[in-house]
Amino acid sequence: MIPRGCSSALRNIAPTLGRPVRVPLRSFSTTQPASSDLDTAAFGEQHIAKGIGRLTKHVFDEGKGTFITTDKGVKLLDLTAGIGVVNLGHCHPKVSAAAAAQCSKITHAQVNIGFSSAQIALIKELIPILPHPSLDTIFFWNSGAEAVEAAVKLARAATKKPNIIVMQGSYHGRTNATASMTRSKTIYGEGHGPLMSGVFATAFPYYSQFGGASPDTPTDELVEQALLQLKLTLQQQTSPSDTAAIILEPVLGEGGYVPAPPEFLHDLRKICDENNILLIADEVQCGMGRTGHMWFMEESGVRPDILVFAKGIANGFPLSGIASSKELMDRQKPGSMGGTYAGNAVACAAATATIQAFREEQILDNVAARSKQIFSFLNDLKSSNTKAGNLIEDIRGKGLMVGVQLSNPELERDSSAQSQPQLAPKIVQECVKRNMLLLSTSVFDVLRFIPPLTISEEELSQACSIFKESLEAVAKDL
């Protein structure tokens, strides 16, 4: 008998229960994939999950250095580096060769079964470049979000406390736990709850997060406000005795490309030490040379208890991980960490080659030179007193992690995020029309420049010209 309230769909199949049901088999052909009459992008739209947002409909076929070529032969100047991943440019020859060689040696050296020589070789290269000597023990994962989750697991296991404090505007990933820690946009968690509990958010020293503050607000005032909010969070929302860790992106990424002032990092360290709270630096986007140092935390000299890395570490191969002290890491029970692909051998070989190439090719020198070039171009444009230049409200960042916040001065200024129609998405599309890939970021009107760190002076000048033309095209239509 069908229970009352059962859906009509269930009622329809109910009579077949207990009897064999003939399911028609789809015809299968080795030469005719589904929807083969569609062009490649249309096929992708048809068969790839809609939940993936996409900037363009280009089909990327080849990548070399700062350029991507599409299946239709269009050559695109890539100022996104695959969202801060191919820091050495697409298909860096040394990285690709190391991965190819590893493919013929061993591809899957499973870490819960034995040690992996590719992983050990990487650890030997990685530990010396980490931002603090206390970070001497590593756990590898595949993606940034997984590594953030590993950091949370370690913090909880090591302190035996449940709660995590995150920064307003933070982005830590899209898995269930990291979506709950992400506060840059609601879209990542919206409609997917319940998310992980025990997460509390506090303010980051960024003027757009404080009503009425302008880009000229002195840094010490922003830091003071952010620290006040943190102290209130610890008094009103999660007591220090329940708080395992404070996690931050030392350069707020998806929240607006805002570097944390060194004094803020020092104060966070002090608050953590006074309250037996761990400090986690998520350098997934701002690490691996992006800001001109191998890690942004180096600049302030502040020691993170746990460093999270991913993206640029293997220049396009899926690898991530956390680094911490042996004393902390050893508080986790054997078997509590690991996973089928944790620290894949091919990705590890690519990462070892990536670190070696950084050294051999003096990549950080290029970051310093190109950073000077782009900041000088943007500052000149902003002060040019042209309609386009006047749309630039703030230029910020470090190295080749550069944010440009926009605002139309002809409209009344209001600090709330959606008060003006955004210019950044329009500029991005103008750049795409001119065969350049550029991203916006955050709920505020911000563009981000994250080219490969190997970008040449000539390629960057070309990018600057395309950006200027695109900004002018948008300004003209206002």
Ligand X SMILES: Cc1ncc(COP(=O)(O)O)c(C=O)c1O
Residues making contact with ligand X (CB under 6 A) = 83, 143-145, 148, 171-173, 249, 253-254, 282, 284-285, 310
Q: Which residue is nearest to ligand X (CB)?
A: 144
- The token duo for 438 is 């550029």
- At closest approach, how far in Å is the CB of 213 from ligand X? 24
Residue 222 Cβ vs ligand X, minimum distance, rounded to whole Å: 20
Which CB atom, from 66 or from 285, has the smaller least distance to ligand X? 285
The CA distances from residue 63 to 39, 86, 416, 452, in Å, are 21, 10, 39, 12
Q: Is the peptide bond before 451 cis (omega within 30 degrees of 0)?
A: no
Number of C-beta neighbours around residue 452 at 10 A? 30
Please state the closest distance from residue 148 (CB atom) to ligand X, in A.
5
CA angle, corner 169, sides to 288 and 162, nearest 5?
90
**144 or 292: CB nearest ligand X:** 144
- Cβ neighbors of 174 (< 8 A, separation 6 or more) are 145, 182, 188
Contact 344, 332 (CB under 8 A): no
| In the complex, least distance from residue 327 CB atom to ligand X, rounded to whole angstroms | 25
Residue whose CB is less far from ligand X, 140 or 377: 140
Structure tokens, 205: 């020293």
CB of 144 to ligand X, least distance (A): 2
Least separation, in Å, of the C-beta of 171 and ligand X?
5
Residue closer to ligand X by CB (options 401, 471) is 401
Give, rounded to a whole angstrom, the gap between the first and last alpha carbons of the chain.
67
How many C-beta atoms lie closer than 10 Å to residue 351's C-beta? 32
Closer by beta carbon to ligand X, 310 or else 406: 310
Give the residue among 225, 274, 224 at the shortest CA–CA distance from 246.
Answer: 274
Antiparallel, parallel or unpaired: β 163-167 and 243-248: parallel
- Residue 311 or 426: the one with the smaller Cβ distance to ligand X is 311
- Pick between residue 149 and residue 472 the one whose CB is nearest to ligand X: 149
Q: Which is nearer to ligand X, 89 or 173 (CB)?
A: 173
Pick between residue 68 and residue 280 the one whose CB is nearest to ligand X: 280
Nearer to ligand X, 154 or 464 (CB): 154
284/293 Cα distance (integer angstroms): 14
CB of 421 to ligand X, least distance (A): 26
Burial 391-407 (b: 16+ CB within 10 A, else e): bbbbbbbbbbbbbbbbb
Query: Packing angle between helix 363-382 and helix 457-476, nearest 10 degrees?
Result: 30
Say which residue the tokens 């002195």 belong to: 218
Which one, 251 or 392, has the nearer CB to ligand X? Answer: 251
Enumerate the β-bridge partners of residue 281. 248, 307
The least CB distance from residue 142 to ligand X, in Å, is 8
Q: How far is the CB of 284 from ligand X (least distance, A)?
A: 4
177 or 381: whose CB is closer to ligand X?
A: 177
- Tell how far CA 391 is from the center of its chain: 26
Q: Which string of DSSP letters, residue by residue, matches 4-52?
A: TT--HHHHHHGGGTTS---PPPPP--SS--TTTTS-HHHHHHHHS-TTS
**CB of 178: closest distance to ligand X in angstroms?**
7
Residue 376 beta carbon to ligand X: minimum distance, rounded to whole angstroms? 27
Closest distance of CB 285 from ligand X, Å: 4
Counting Cβ atoms within 10 Å, is residue 185 exposed (0-12), middle (13-18) or buried (19+)?
A: middle
Task: Note whether 109 and 312 are within 8 A (CB).
Answer: no
Burial 274-309 (b: 16+ CB within 10 A, else e): eeebbbbbbbbbbbbbbbbbbbbbbbbebbbbbbbb
